[in-house]
Amino acid sequence: MTRSLRFPAILLAAAFVASACGGGGGGTSPAASEPGASASGGASGGPATSGEAGTINVLSLWGGSEEEAFKKVLEDFTAKTGWGVNYEADRQTYSTTLQSRITGGNPPDIAIIPGIGFLRRFAKDGSLKKIADLGVDTAGLSSNYPEGFLAAGTVDGELYALPAKYNNKGTMWFRPDVYSDASVTTPKTWDEFKAALDKTVDKPGAMSLGAKDDWNLTDWFESIYIRQSGVDAYDKLFSAEGDWADPSVQKTVDTMLEVINDKYVVGGVEAAVGRAWTDAIAQVFKPEPEAGTFYEGGFVGGIATTQTNKDLKIGETIDWYPFPTIDNTEDVTTFGGDVVGALTDSEGAKAFMTYVVTPEANTVWASTGAIVSPNKGVATDSYPNELVVREADSLKNAAQIRYDGSDLLPAGIQGEQMGQLLQRAIAGDTVDWADFQTRVKAAWDNE
Amino acid sequence: MAVVAPGGVDPSGLPTATPVPAASPATKIAGRRWDAATLLFLGPPAILLAVFLIYPTIYTIFLSFNRGRRGEFTEWVGLQHYIGLLNDKAFINVSTFPPSGAIWNNVLWAIFYTSLVIFLGLIVAVLASRVRYESIIKAVVFLPMAIAATALAIIWNFVYAPDPNIGLLNAILDPFTDRGISWLGNPGLVNAALIAAGIWGSVGFATVILSAALKSIPTEVLEAARTDGANERQIFFRIILPMVSLPISVLAVTLLVNVIKLFDLIYVLTNGGPGVSSRVIAFTMYYESIPGGQFGRGAAITVVMLILLLPIMAYNIRRFRSSRVV
pLDDT at A15: 42
DSSP, res B52: I
Size of interface A-B (CB pairs under 8 A): 163
Number of neighbouring beta carbons within 10 Å of residue A307: 20
Q: Say which residue, B13 or A198, is predicted with more confidence.
A: A198
pLDDT at B323: 62
Parallel, antiparallel or unpaired: strands A110-114 and A54-60? parallel
pLDDT at B16: 43
Of A19, A214, A273, the CB nearest to B151: A19
DSSP B290-312: TTT--HHHHHHHHHHHHHHHHHH
Go through A185-209 and write b for each residue having 16 or more CB atoms within 10 A of its CB, e for each that does not.
Answer: ebbeebeebbebbebbbeebbbbbb
Distance from CA of B224 to the nearest CA of A (A): 27
Number of neighbouring beta carbons within 10 Å of residue A27: 17
**B contacts of A212 (beta carbons < 8 Å):** 184-185, 270-271, 273-274
Show which of residues 88-117 on chain B sit within 8 Å of chain A, judged by CB atoms.
88-91
Distance from CA of B225 to the nearest CA of A (A): 28
* Beta-bridge mates of residue A154: A159
> Across residues A230-234, what is the average pLDDT?
93
pLDDT at A128: 92
pLDDT at A142: 82
CA angle at residue A191 from A185 to A192, to 5 degrees?
A: 5
At the fourth CATH level, which superfamily is domain B97-294? MetI-like (1.10.3720.10)
For an interface test with A, give the residue of B134, B163, B194 to mutate (most A CBs within 10 A).
Answer: B163
A194 CB-side CA count, 13 A: 12
Express each pLDDT in A6-15 by its tens digit.
444 444 444 4
Query: What count of residues does chain A have?
Result: 447
The answer to whether the CB atoms of B151 and A424 lie below 8 A apart is no
The answer to whether the CB atoms of B146 and A424 lie below 8 A apart is no
pLDDT at A97: 85
3-state secondary structure of B29: strand
Write down the pTM of the prediction.
Answer: 0.80
**B contacts of A413 (beta carbons < 8 Å):** 292
Report the candidate in B201, B199, B195 with the shortest Cα–Cα distance to residue B183.
Answer: B195
**B111, B122, B205 from B114: Cα distances, Å:** 6, 12, 12
pLDDT at B33: 65
The answer to whether the CB atoms of B139 and A4 lie below 8 A apart is yes
> Across residues A251-258, what is the average pLDDT?
96
Of B71, B148, B182, the CB nearest to A274: B182
pLDDT at A100: 83
For helices A359-366 and A64-81, give the axis angle rounded to 10 degrees: 150
pLDDT at A45: 46
**Residue B211: closest CA among chain A residues belongs to which residue?**
A1
* Torsion sign across C-alpha atoms A102, A70, A400, A254: negative
* Torsion sign across C-alpha atoms B297, B299, B300, B301: positive
pLDDT band at A62 (very low <50, low <70, confident <90, very high): confident
Q: Say which residue, A46 or A370, is predicted with more confidence.
A: A370
**A153, B206, B211 from A8: Cα distances, Å:** 54, 15, 15
Low-confidence ranges of chain B (pLDDT < 50): 1-26, 325-326
Of B146, B182, B185, the CB nearest to A15: B146
pLDDT band at A135 (very low <50, low <70, confident <90, very high): confident
Express each pLDDT in A366-407 by its tens digit.
888 777 888 888 888 888 888 888 888 888 788 888 889 888
Q: Contacts by A352-355 with C-beta closer than 8 Å and gap 24+?
A: A352/A56, A352/A58, A352/A77, A352/A81, A352/A83, A352/A109, A352/A110, A353/A110, A353/A131, A353/A134, A353/A135, A353/A136, A353/A162, A354/A134, A354/A135, A354/A136, A354/A137, A355/A77, A355/A80, A355/A81
Report the candidate in B272, B292, B186 with the shortest Cα–Cα distance to residue A31.
Answer: B272
pLDDT at A11: 41
Distance from CA of B112 to the nearest CA of A (A): 23
The secondary structure element, H or E, covering residue B320 is helix B295-322
pLDDT at B181: 85
pLDDT at B119: 95
Which residues, including other chains, have CB under 8 Å from residue B207's CB and lie 6 or more apart? Answer: B121, B124, B125, B128, B138, B141, B142
B278 interfacial to chain A (CB closer than 8 Å): no
B274 interfacial to chain A (CB closer than 8 Å): yes
Is residue A315 over pLDDT 50?
yes
> Across residues A120-146, what is the average pLDDT?
85
The answer to whether the CB atoms of A415 and B90 lie below 8 A apart is yes
The answer to whether the CB atoms of B160 and A30 lie below 8 A apart is no
- Separation between Cα atoms, residue A83 and residue A347, nearest integer Å: 9
Express each pLDDT in A89-103 by its tens digit.
887 778 778 888 888
HEC-encoded secondary structure of chain A: CHHHHHHHHHHHHHHHHHHHHHHCCCCCCCCCCCCCCCCCCCEEECCCECCCCEEEEEEECCCHHHHHHHHHHHHHHHHHHCEEEEEEEECCCHHHHHHHHHHCCCCCCEEEEECHHHHHHHHHCCCCCCHHHHCCCHHHHHHHCCHHHHHHCEECCEECEEEEEEEECCEEEECHHHHHHCCCCCCCEHHHHHHHHHHHCCCCCCECCCCCCCHHHHHHHHHHHHHHCCHHHHHHHCCCCCCCCCHHHHHHHHHHHHHCCCCCECCCHHHHHCCCHHHHHHHHHCCCCCCCEEECCCHHHHHHHHHHCCCCCECCCEEEEECCECCCCCCEEEEEEEEEEECCCCHHHHHHHHHHCCHHHHHHHHCCCCCECCCCCCCHHHCCCHHHHHHHHHHHHCCEEEECHHHCCCCCCCCCCHHHHHHHHHCCCCCCHHHHHHHHHHHHHHC
Task: Enumerate domains of chain A plus CATH numbers.
Answer: 43-168+336-405 (3.40.190.10), 171-333 (3.40.190.10)
Is residue A316 over pLDDT 50?
yes
User: Are B224 and B138 in contact, with CB atoms under 8 Å apart?
Assistant: no
**Phi/psi at A187 (5° precision):** -75, 150
Is residue A158 over pLDDT 80?
yes
- Separation between Cα atoms, residue B196 and residue A261, nearest integer Å: 29
The secondary structure element, H or E, covering residue B322 is helix B295-322
> Across residues A254-267, what is the average pLDDT?
95
pLDDT at A58: 93
**B contacts of A25 (beta carbons < 8 Å):** 154
Is B315 exposed, middle or buried (CB count within 10 Å of its CB: 0-12, 13-18, 19+)? Answer: middle
The secondary structure element, H or E, covering residue B315 is helix B295-322
pLDDT at A4: 42
Q: Average pLDDT of chain A?
A: 84
pLDDT at A52: 66
DSSP B144-193: GGGS-HHHHHHHHHHHH-SSTTT-HHHHHHTTT-SS---TTT-HHHHHHH
The secondary structure element, H or E, covering residue B47 is helix B36-49
pLDDT at A37: 35
**A contacts of B179 (beta carbons < 8 Å):** 267-268, 270-271
**Residue B183: closest CA among chain A residues belongs to which residue?**
A274
For chain B, the domains span: 97-294
Which residues, including other chains, have CB under 8 Å from residue B173's CB and lie 6 or more apart? Answer: B164, B180, B181
Report the candidate in A336, A197, A319 with the shortest Cα–Cα distance to residue A265.
Answer: A197
**Residue A102: closest CA among chain B residues belongs to which residue?**
B70
DSSP B193-252: HHHHHHHHHHHHHHHHHHHHHHHTS-HHHHHHHHHTT--HHHIIIIIIHHHTHHHHHHHH
B184 interfacial to chain A (CB closer than 8 Å): yes
- Separation between Cα atoms, residue B194 and residue B238, nearest integer Å: 34
Express each pLDDT in B174-231 by its tens digit.
888 877 788 998 888 999 999 999 999 999 999 999 999 999 999 899 899 999 998 9
Of A95, A271, A427, the CB nearest to B162: A271
The secondary structure element, H or E, covering residue B264 is helix B264-269
Number of neighbouring beta carbons within 10 Å of residue A157: 5
pLDDT band at A50 (very low <50, low <70, confident <90, very high): low
Is residue A67 over pLDDT 50?
yes
The answer to whether the CB atoms of A421 and B275 lie below 8 A apart is yes
- Separation between Cα atoms, residue A193 and residue A41, nearest integer Å: 35
pLDDT band at A416 (very low <50, low <70, confident <90, very high): confident
**Residue B144: closest CA among chain A residues belongs to which residue?**
A15
pLDDT at B294: 87
pLDDT at A194: 96
User: Are A81 and A53 in contact, with CB atoms under 8 Å apart?
Assistant: yes
Query: Minimum mean pLDDT among A156-170, A183-197, A240-254: which range?
Result: A156-170
pLDDT at A51: 61
**Phi/psi at B211 (5° precision):** -65, -40
Is residue A123 over pLDDT 80?
yes
